[in-house]
């Protein structure tokens, strides 16, 4: 998995590519933790994510909780397979998902 971050004012956009699973979720968690203190809003561009496991979902839910006191977390560009996995967990109702 690769993570690229662009910061514009206090809005951070992290572009993710690859798989988010038990092997890469800690890497994602660390990358997010490095950015969230200086971001009011965090956008995760997941258009390059081919798969997400429960470990990845846990990172996203934890980030959602952390960013709730600020302007929030936005998930953008989810593939149909990633949307399906998030939908199966029921978190699509809680998360801010943009096309």
**DSSP letters of 60-94?**
HHHHHHHHTTTTEEEEE---HHHHHHHHHHTGGGT
Q: Which CATH number fits domain 2-98: 3.30.750.24, 3.60.20.10, 3.30.360.10, 3.20.20.70?
A: 3.30.750.24
Domain ranges of the chain: 2-98
Beta bridge partners of 65: none
- pLDDT, tens digit, 9 for 90 and up, residues 25-50: 999 999 999 999 999 999 999 999 99
The pTM of this model reads 0.94
> What's the CA gap between 92 and 84, in Å, rounded?
9
Query: Region 72-98: what's the mean pLDDT?
Result: 94
């Amino acid at each position: 998995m690769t993570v690229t971050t662009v910061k514009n004012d206090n809005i951070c956009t992290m572009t993710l590519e690859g798989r988010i699973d038990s092997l890469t979720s800690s890497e994602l968690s660390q990358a997010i933790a490095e950015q969230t203190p200086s971001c009011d809003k965090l956008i995760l561009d997941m258009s390059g994510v081919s798969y997400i496991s429960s470990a990845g979902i846990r990172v996203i839910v934890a980030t959602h909780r952390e960013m709730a006191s600020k302007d929030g977390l936005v998930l953008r560009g989810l593939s149909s397979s990633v949307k399906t996995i998030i939908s199966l967990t029921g978190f699509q109702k809680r998360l801010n998902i943009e096309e």
